[in-house]
Amino acid sequence: MAFLASLTALNSQGLNTLSFGTDTTFEVLSWNVEWFAKNEETTVDYVTQIIESLDVDLVALQEIDKKASFEQLVKNLEGWEGYFVDSDYLELGFLYKTGELDVSDIFEIFPNTRREFPREPLVMELVYEGREMVIINNHLKCCGDGSLNSSDSYDEEKRRLDAMNLLYQHINTFYSDRPVILLGDLNDILTDSQENNVFQMFIDDPDHYRFLDMEIAQGSPGGWSYPSWPSHIDHILITDELFDAFAHVNSEVAVLKIENYLEGGWEEYDQNISDHRPVGLKLFFEGPTGLKESMHPGDQLSIHPNPVVHAATFSFSAMPEDGSLAIFDATGQKVDVLPVEKGQGSLTWEPGYLPGGFYVAELIAGNRLKACRRVVLLP
C-alpha cells in the first residue's frame, strides 16, 4: 500500500498532468537519475509516475546505483521491459515499451577503455513501426576546468574528446546507413570555443550529424538540463537518416522541467529524484513502414550498390512464403512492387525513370513485414 499511497500524494501535486508522448510519434528520453534510487522507494515511486505520465516509448537512463530499485521500477511499469548493466559503479540502462518497440539486441561497446569511457556505452538496436534504429546511451567522464589540454591524456576534457572521437568513428564504420540516436550525460557543453569543444568532430559534419539540443544550449540557463551547476550537459544527437523526421512540425526536443509539476518545486525534485532534468526527443515519421507487425531479429535486407544509379541487388534470407518487395518514395507513395517467390533470396531492381532522392524498400512475406531498408537513388 505504500506505493499506492505515494502515487496518491504525487497526483495531488500535479504529476498526473505531465505529458510528452503521443500515439503518432516515437519518443526517447535521456535521463541521469542521480544515484538511482537516491531516496529509495520514494524515488522509485516518483520515477514510475513520471515515466507513465510522459508516455514515452524508450528511456535511456544514466547513473543507476541499486539493482533492486531498477528491478522494482521495471515491475511497476506495466507493459515495459528493462535492461541494466549490473556492475560496481553508476551504470547505464534502458526501459522500453514492449508493445511499441521490437528490440533486436542490447550490448556494450568499447570494453577496456576506461580512460575514455568510465562506463562503456550501451547500444540498443530496435525496430519501430518497420524502421530500424540504433540508440547509443552514454555517461562520459565528469568535471574539468573547461580547457582542453591535448598533451595530458587524463585531462577530463581530453578524455571526453577521445571518447567522442571513438563514437564518431564507430558510427561511421558500423552504422553509416542506419538511423542513430546518440544521447546521454555527456558532461560537457556544446557552446565551447572550437579549440575546447569536445564535440567538434560532430559539429564540423553537419551533413551527417546534428545536436538537436543546440538551441537549448545557446538559450537561457533556466532551460538547461543541469540547473545545479548551472549548465547544459545532457544531449541528443541524430544522424542524417532522421533529419527529415525531426523537421516535421510534430517533432520536438525539450528539457522537461518536472519540478514545475511538484508542489515543492526544484527542492522536492532534487531531494527525491535527481539533480538532472530529462531531455526528451519526439519524432514524427511520414511515409511508409506504418506496419506494426514485429520483424524477426534475424531478418535482414541488404542493398548493393546503395546509393543506386542504374540498378541494385537486394539480398535477404530465403522467403518462407510468397511475398513482395515494395518501394516507397519520401511521401509514402508506393512507386514500385516486385514479386518474391517462396525460397527466393535476392532480386534485382531497376528504378527506371524514378527521380533521384530517398526511398524505402519493404520486404513483405505474406502479410508480415520482414525487413526494410533506406535506399538512396542518385539522379
CB 336 within 8 Å of CB 327: yes
Quote the mean pLDDT of the chain.
90
* In a domain? residue 47: yes
Domain CATH number, residue 205:
3.60.10.10
* In a domain? residue 296: no
Same domain, 184 and 324: no
Residue 135, pLDDT above cutoff 50: yes
Question: Is the omega angle on the peptide bond into residue 365 within 30 degrees of 0, that is, cis?
Answer: no
Task: Tell me the average pLDDT across 131-138.
Answer: 95
How many domains would you assign to the chain? Answer: 2
**pLDDT band (50, 70, 90) for residue 287:** low
Residue 175, pLDDT above cutoff 70: yes
pLDDT digits (tens, 9 = 90+) for 87-127: 877 899 999 999 999 998 999 999 889 999 999 999 999 99
Same domain, 82 and 231: yes
* In a domain? residue 232: yes
CB 29 within 8 Å of CB 56: yes
- Single residue among 257, 283, 309 that ends a domain in this structure: 283
Same domain, 152 and 256: yes
* In a domain? residue 31: yes
Domain CATH number, residue 343:
2.60.40.3080
Same domain, 246 and 365: no
pLDDT digits (tens, 9 = 90+) for 247-278: 988 899 999 999 999 999 999 999 999 999 99
* In a domain? residue 357: yes
Which pLDDT score, from 0 to 100, does residue 11 have?
Answer: 45
Cell of 87: 556492475
* In a domain? residue 292: no
Same domain, 86 and 152: yes
Best CA proximity match to 301, nearest among 121, 170, 156, 178:
178
Same domain, 190 and 311: no
Phi and psi of 161, rounded to 5°? -60, -45
pLDDT digits (tens, 9 = 90+) for 177-215: 899 999 999 999 999 999 999 999 999 999 999 999 999
Same domain, 30 and 122: yes
In this prediction, what percent of the chain has a pLDDT beyond 70? 93
* In a domain? residue 207: yes
- Domain of residue 334, residue span: 301-377
CB 347 within 8 Å of CB 364: no
CB 308 within 8 Å of CB 351: yes
Residue 221, pLDDT above cutoff 90: yes
Half-sphere exposure of 322 (CA within 13 A, CB side): 1
Same domain, 209 and 337: no
Same domain, 72 and 139: yes
- Single residue among 249, 283, 317 that ends a domain in this structure: 283
- Single residue among 253, 283, 313 that ends a domain in this structure: 283
Task: Tell me the average pLDDT across 76-92.
Answer: 91
- Of the two residues 261 and 13, the one the predictor is more confident about is 261
pLDDT digits (tens, 9 = 90+) for 293-321: 334 444 578 888 877 888 999 999 899 99
* In a domain? residue 266: yes
CB 281 within 8 Å of CB 181: yes
Choice among 5-19, 33-47, 249-263 with the minimum mean pLDDT: 5-19
Which pLDDT score, from 0 to 100, does residue 197 have?
Answer: 98
Best CA proximity match to 285, nearest among 23, 98, 33:
23
Same domain, 252 and 128: yes
Same domain, 165 and 79: yes
Which pLDDT score, from 0 to 100, does residue 194 have?
Answer: 97
Same domain, 269 and 324: no
